[in-house]
Structure 1
Amino acid sequence: MSNRTFRITVRGAFDGLTEAQRAELLADAAEHDVLNARFTPEGNLSYDLAARPFFSFRFLDSGEQEEDLVEAASRAEQSARAWLDARGYGYKNLKSQAEDLSQAPLGKRQRRAAARELG
């Protein structure tokens, strides 16, 4: 069996933040800028609270079978909830989207590279 790589994005919105929580998030905003967003095993949070209340966590996981994607998405949502709950941040509309990279279509460069390898 091959090892599959999964990318999971968990999105939501901050809700009912206190002024202190909002100030804390704004102070840390540069480290959570969307331009620095990446998929990591521990999850990477990005937001722009000054513009809108939405956030996203990006997780990288793996599994042996396509069915493992559902479990990976569940783990990612649990991790996002745990991070938010540990800090007392209110949130709503938490949803996840998961992608099995072994099933993703190849980009133009990848198709060319694959054709070179075969030819």
Structure 2
Amino acid sequence: MSEQHTYRVIVRGTFDGLSQESRSRLLAEVDAHGLSAMQFTEEGSLAYDRTLKHFSYRLVVVSDAADGEDMAAAIAEDRVETALKELGHGFGGLKSTVTDMDTMKINYKR
């Protein structure tokens, strides 16, 4: 078994072809999905604003280090696609930014 790394992934995308039901539901929950509510979790944390144009999802992905950041991005995007489809929200243009937490250097102030 290969070494596991923990990745923080931000998946950004656009809402696309939202039904009136989806729009209403998203607007009703907009206050719970603002920037202050965002956190990295395995399930993902969805953030968007009232314009319902763009969104971001923050996720934690644990994956084999040998597979690298590309695999972590693919896993995260798959989770986002699944979550949004289950909620019935249309989307497109997913792009990911990945940070490997196990190789990240932290500079402490003295």
Q: For this structure pair, what is the TM-score category when the shorter chain's length is used for normalisation? A: 0.7 to 0.9
2:86 paired residue number: 86
Aligned with 1:103: secondary structure?
Answer: coil
Q: Please identify the structure whose Cα radius of gyration is greater.
A: 1
What one-letter code is carried by the residue in structure 2 that aligns with 1:13? Answer: T
1:14 paired residue number: 15
Matches of 1:64 and 1:98, distance apart in 2: 14
- Which consecutive unaligned segments of at least 5 residues does structure 2 have? none
What one-letter code is carried by the residue in structure 2 that aligns with 1:107? Answer: N
Count of residue correspondences: 109
Aligned with 1:105: secondary structure?
Answer: coil
Q: Which structure features the higher share of helix residues?
A: 1
- Which consecutive unaligned segments of at least 5 residues does structure 1 have? 113-119
Structure 1 stretch displaced more, 11-20 or 58-67:
58-67
Contact between 2:3 and 2:66, CA under 8 Å: does it hold in 1? no
Q: CA deviation at 1:106?
A: 1.6
Q: CA RMSD in A?
A: 2.0
Where does 1:31-110 land on structure 2 (aligned, <5 Å)?
A: 31-48=32-49, 50-65=50-65, 67-109=67-109
Percent identity of paired positions between Structure 1 and Structure 2 = 33
Q: Which structure features the higher share of strand residues?
A: 2
TM-score for both structures, normalised by structure 2: 0.84
